[in-house]
Amino acid sequence: MKDLNRPFLIKAVGIALAAYAILSALTIILVYVLNISSSGVAPELSPLVLLPLLVAPVLIIAAIGLFRRKAWARIGAVIGLLVIVALVLVSAIGRSIGLFDIVWIAFSAFMIFFFLTDAGVKLELSR
């Protein structure tokens, strides 16, 4: 994988982690607020619903670490991408998996493999 632009890929993963964290947290907050405003009663929040809100800060910290090229951010990104895959699969319970879900899973799987096996990423993040 000599021709890959590693700094670009590292930033892309950082953006993806931050975007997923922000969008999933905003979605849950908006759905919760809209449910309260439409029915007047607060719906029960299950642990599966709260999980993206709890994971969002971890994803944001990993994204910041990638942008600052911290060595620990490589493992943080791998953990964050694994969490994204798990959240996508858990959110697919009770519904079919869509194209967007497949794209997130494929992107995450490739980047997990890339971050764990590519020596250039390790070198780039250790500077």
- 61-110 pLDDT tens trace: 999 999 998 989 889 889 988 988 888 888 777 777 788 888 888 988 98
Cα three-residue angle 80-49-106, rounded to 5 degrees: 40
pLDDT-based confidence at 38, cuts 50/70/90? low
- Read off the pLDDT of each residue in 37-41 and give the average, rounded to a whole number: 64
Tell me if 81 sits within 8 A of 60, measured CB to CB: no
- Other CB atoms within 10 Å distance of the CB of residue 81: 27
In our burial notation (b when 16+ CB lie closer than 10 A, e otherwise), range 44-68 reads eeeeeeebbeebbeebbbbbebbee
Q: Which residue has the higher pLDDT, 91 or 46?
A: 91
**Residue 52's pLDDT band (cuts 50, 70, 90):** confident
